Amino acid sequence: MLGFAPPPGLLPRSPRSPPLPASLPISKYHGLGNDFILATGADPTHPPLTCAQSAALCRRGFGVGGDGVIFLLPATGPDYDFTCVIHNADGTVPEMCGNGIRTLAQYVVDQGLAPEGLPARMRFLTGAGLIVPTVNADRSVEVDMGFPVLAGKEVPSTLEPTRGEAVVRRSVEVGGKDYEMTCVSMGNPHGVVFFDTPEELDAAFDSGAASALECHPSFPNNANIEFVARLSDTHLKMRVFERGAGPTLACGTGACALTVAAVLAGVIPTADKGITVTLPGGDLNIRWEGEGGKVWMTGPAVKVMEGFIETDDW
Ligand SMILES: N[C@@H](CCC[C@H](N)C(=O)O)C(=O)O
């Protein structure tokens, strides 16, 4: 069922897993239109829905609809407050989800699971390791996204490195056209292509090139693909074709990866004071401390509804 390996310890449900609950409370949240079904589970290694159930729930028109399902599970050790498991809309298991982490942090606050008062900081164990969001008093969520991975083979990508171990502007061909690919991992793999103008970006994206690149052989685990245009030294515009979800209105890890890629590729001089990334669903603020440093993301997380599903129906 999985198109790529799940993070260690996070396995699809096996016949010996605990039985599914008959009725499961769920909530729906979005981060700039990147929408998720959120649920709490009691077992840190087995979420309360299978990958196939998540895919059915995400299916628009037939299910609740969403770009993914995110589970808040108990921590497995003293270094974490919670474990976070993500299912993509197609039922695959990604390592990380930036917008999803913001919504999950807001969910923790809304469920009364954080200490009283804001700001509320929490430590999530994800498939990409430790991720630390803080829900601020103004309801924005700032996330310590950790260190980007620049070595191409760790993204992973089979493209030949162009600068040290990094793949920066390496040409990749799809549909008879060449695209200059810069590869960055934020725990999950991203391929970033820069265009001279927003119009060129839109034309290339609408041609289906981003969708073709998502499953290009140079990405053994597939990749999230971001097409980007520079609006100024502190402002980039992007569109994204997400692995396992298709074109979405926003991608938090994508906004982080493309900011790092933009500095590496010389599209902007620095992002150490923070830049604005305009996604189809709105704006994120992304700051990269520079080579060897961390990435920080700030943006909104909005609750849409809560309810119950009868798990037998899914
Ligand atoms: N929307 C996300 C990314 C979700 C995971 C992605 N589809 C993958 O498979 O890596 C984000 O906001 O980061």
Per-residue tokens: 125: 């164990």
Q: What percentage of the chain reaches a pLDDT higher than 70?
A: 93
Amino acid found at 170? R
Please check whether residue 135 is in contact with residue 169, taking contact to mean a CB–CB distance below 8 angstroms: no
DSSP 153: G
- Taking domain 23-146+301-313, whether its CATH number is 2.160.20.10 is answered by no
pLDDT in tens, 226-260: 999 999 999 999 999 999 999 999 999 999 999 99
**ipTM for the predicted complex:** 0.98
Dist. CA 170–CA 276, nearest whole Å: 25
Q: Do domains 23-146+301-313 and 152-293 have the same CATH topology?
A: yes
CA–centroid distance, residue 237 to ligand 1 (Å): 18
Predicted pLDDT of residue 42: 96
| Residue 197 reports pLDDT greater than 70 | yes
In ligand 1, which atom is closest to the CA atom of 96? 5
51 annotated active-site: no
Instruction: Residue count of the chain, please give it.
Output: 314
Average pLDDT of 199-210?
98
| Residue 314 reports pLDDT greater than 90 | no
Predicted pLDDT of residue 312: 78
Q: pLDDT averaged over the chain?
A: 94
Q: End-to-end CA distance of the chain, in Å?
A: 17
| Residue 6 reports pLDDT greater than 50 | no
Of the candidates 51, 84, 97, 183, the residue annotated as catalytic is 97
pLDDT in tens, 143-157: 999 999 999 999 999
Please check whether residue 236 is in contact with residue 226, taking contact to mean a CB–CB distance below 8 angstroms: no
Average pLDDT of 112-117?
93
Instruction: Domain 152-293: give its CATH superfamily.
Output: Diaminopimelate Epimerase; Chain A, domain 1 (3.10.310.10)
Predicted pLDDT of residue 72: 98
Of the candidates 51, 84, 183, 251, the residue annotated as catalytic is 251
Q: Which residue has the tokens 């970006």?
A: 201
Predicted pLDDT of residue 19: 61
- 98-110 helix and 252-264 helix, angle to the nearest 10 degrees: 140
Please check whether residue 279 is in contact with residue 120, taking contact to mean a CB–CB distance below 8 angstroms: no
Ligand 1 binding pocket (C-beta < 6 A) is 34, 67, 88, 94, 97-100, 188, 224, 242-245, 248, 251-254
251 annotated active-site: yes
Domain ranges of the chain: 23-146+301-313, 152-293
